[in-house]
Amino acid sequence: MERDGWRNRAERWKSLIREIGAATVNLVFPPVCCGCGRLTGDARAVCPSCWAGLRLIERPYCEVLGSPFAVDPGSGAVSPQAIANPPVFDRLRSVSLHEGIARDLVHGLKYRDRTDLASMMAEWMIRASDGTVAAADMIVPVPLHAFRLWRRKFNQSAELARCISERAGKPYRPETLHRVRRTRRQVGLAARAREENVRGAFAVAESARPGLEGKRIVLVDDVYTTGATVSAATRALKRAGAGDVTVLTFAMAMPEPI
C-alpha cells in the first residue's frame, strides 16, 4: 500500500511538472493559429475563421473514393468515378478538400518545413479514416526517392504517418516501400502523364515481404489528386501479398465529374 501511494504521488508530481512546462512554453511562445497566425488557446489548433473555411469531407461520401456527394444517395453508395475506373486500393479517406486553409497547411508542411503541423494534421486524419487506422496492421508512408529526400531533408508523408502511428498505437513501417526510380514532379502533369511518370516507381523491400501477406495497410500521403502515385504504391504492396490497402490523405482534389 505504501509503495502504491508513493507511485501515485510521483505520477501527480510528473503531471504537475508537465503542466508547468507546457504553461511556460505557451507564455514564452504564445500558441497561434496554424493557418493565419492569430493567437489561440491551443498550439495545435486553427482559429474560428480558418476553421469555417475548412471544407471537411463528411458523409455522405463515396464508400470507395471517399469523395463527397452533393445529395445523400443512400447507404453504401459508390460514385460514378469509382464505378467507371475502380481503383487498385480498397478505399480512400481524406480530411478535407484541397483548397483554402487545407491547402495552406499542406503547403506549410511540404514546402515551408512546418513539420510541427504534422501532429495536428495526423489527429484529423485518424478521425477521417473511418475506423481503418484502428483496424490496420501497419501504417506505411508513400516514400520519396533518395535524391529528393536528400534535397528536401524530410518526407512529409512519413511525418504524417509517424504521427498517426504514435497516436493510434499502430506499427510504423517506413521501410516497407522503396521508391526505386526517380520521377518528375507530378505537379502540372495530366492524369495520363502522372500514371506514366510513376509506373514501376515503387517496390517492396525483400525484408518486408514475409510480413505483408494478408495484412491490412493504411498507406499515407499528403494529397490525393488523380491517384497515380498511391495506385502505383498500392500495386507494389498487393503484388507482395497485402490483403487490404486504405489510402489516407489530409487533402483531396475534387474529382472531375463524369
pLDDT at 169 over 50: yes
Fold of 56-252: Rossmann fold (3.40.50)
Bond prior to 80 in cis (omega within 30° of 0): no
pTM for this prediction: 0.83
Q: How far apart are CA 60 and CA 124, in angstroms?
A: 18
Q: How far apart are CA 33 and CA 189, in angstroms?
A: 33
Look at 12-21, 112-121, 127-136, 147-156 and tell me which has the smallest mean pLDDT: 12-21
b/e for 196-217, b at 16 or more Cβ within 10 A? ebbeebbbbeeebeeebeebeb
What is the model's pLDDT at position 34? 74
Q: What is the pLDDT of residues 49-75, one digit of tens each?
A: 888 888 999 999 999 999 999 899 998
pLDDT confidence of 111, banded at 50, 70, 90?
confident
Q: Where are the domains of the chain?
A: 56-252
Q: What is the pLDDT of residues 23-53, one digit of tens each?
A: 444 444 567 777 777 777 665 678 888 888 8
What is the model's pLDDT at position 30? 63
